[in-house]
Amino acid sequence: MLYCRVVYLSGNLTTEELAMPLFPLRKLPATPISGVADELLATLEDAIADENTDRNRICRTLLCQILYPEYAENWDTAVEDAKLPAATRLALASLDPRNVTLEPEYYAECDDSRFQLVKPLLWLWYSFDRTPLGGQNVDLGVRLRRLLAPKIFKRCGRNFKAFQHVEFSFGYNMEVGDDVVVHRHVLLDDRGGLVLGDKVSISDYANIYSHTHSIVDQKDVTDAVTRLDDGVRITYHATVLAGVHVGEEGMVGAVAVATKDVRPYHVNVGIPAKSVRVKPNAPTGPVNLTAIKPR
């Protein structure tokens, strides 16, 4: 078995490359209903590609087909049918994003013209994850979110992968590079703007913020762009606060709270997070923390 032994000498990190276990992801065969999934996603992609299409109706129709198929063809009349229980009528009505409010709509800096454009797709994203069809259905879920992300984010690169229950603030303030992976139950608060470089990995239950509250008056909110450069890893249950810049290949350890910038190739842990080591793949020359690769 391969492994890697880490040795500390006078505060510097060196490695003795012996053998490191490697567990690449497996490729699974297609499921018996993969063709039906392809059909669903193709239909959805065609629908949202047309900017003149009512996205609220797209969201409502798909969710109704999943959750209340018996009302899929007569949603309008069912919502108005006094013979149905009030709870059923409200549940049906809430499938249409125009009948619900999301927290970011209450924020003072919410750009209504931009948010209302992405709101139906955010509502579809969130609601799909809470259906039997979505839930922990990895393949379909990743493909559906990958389809929605470029229509929500300011920019979205290739091969974006998000698992279930990832949530945003506005969505439209997200800039995402190539090969980014976001795991379960992650909060990406793009209220002040989030920039994720290529190959950023964000682990389960992490929180990335771009707004902060005054310690004197919590209604006093300051927005600040938060940046995660190429190759950054934010690990389990970690938090990155507003305005923090995590440099290239930097890492924020489990449960850590990054209150200040993380230098490139440094591993920061603790509360508040501080550098405890430099990754063994760090270049020997100086690295510019403030350098952001142009997009």
pLDDT in tens, 142-194: 999 999 999 999 999 999 999 999 999 999 999 999 999 999 999 999 999 99
155-280 belongs to which CATH class?
A: mainly beta
Query: Locate tokens 């499938």: which residue?
Result: 95
What is the pTM (predicted TM-score) of this model? Answer: 0.88
Percent of the chain past pLDDT 90, that is, above it, reads 84
Burial bucket for residue 188 (CB in 10 Å: 0-12, 13-18, 19+): buried
Domain extents for the chain? 155-280
The two three-digit tokens of residue 294, written as one number:
């142009």
Chain centre distance of CA 113: 22
Give the pLDDT band of residue 286 (cuts 50, 70, 90). Answer: low
pLDDT tens digits for range 168-177: 999 999 999 9
pLDDT of residue 17: 45
Q: Where are the beta strands (DSSP E) in 217-262?
A: 221-223, 226-228, 233-234, 239-240, 245-246, 251-252, 257-258
Task: Please say if the pLDDT value at position 13 is more than 70.
Answer: no
Average pLDDT over residues 221-225: 96
pLDDT of residue 50: 87
pLDDT of residue 135: 87
pLDDT of residue 230: 98
Query: How many whole angstroms separate alpha carbon 118 and alpha carbon 171?
Result: 7
Dihedral of CA atoms 197, 239, 152, 157 in degrees, nearest 10, equals: 20
pLDDT of residue 145: 98
Task: Please say if the pLDDT value at position 9 is more than 60.
Answer: no
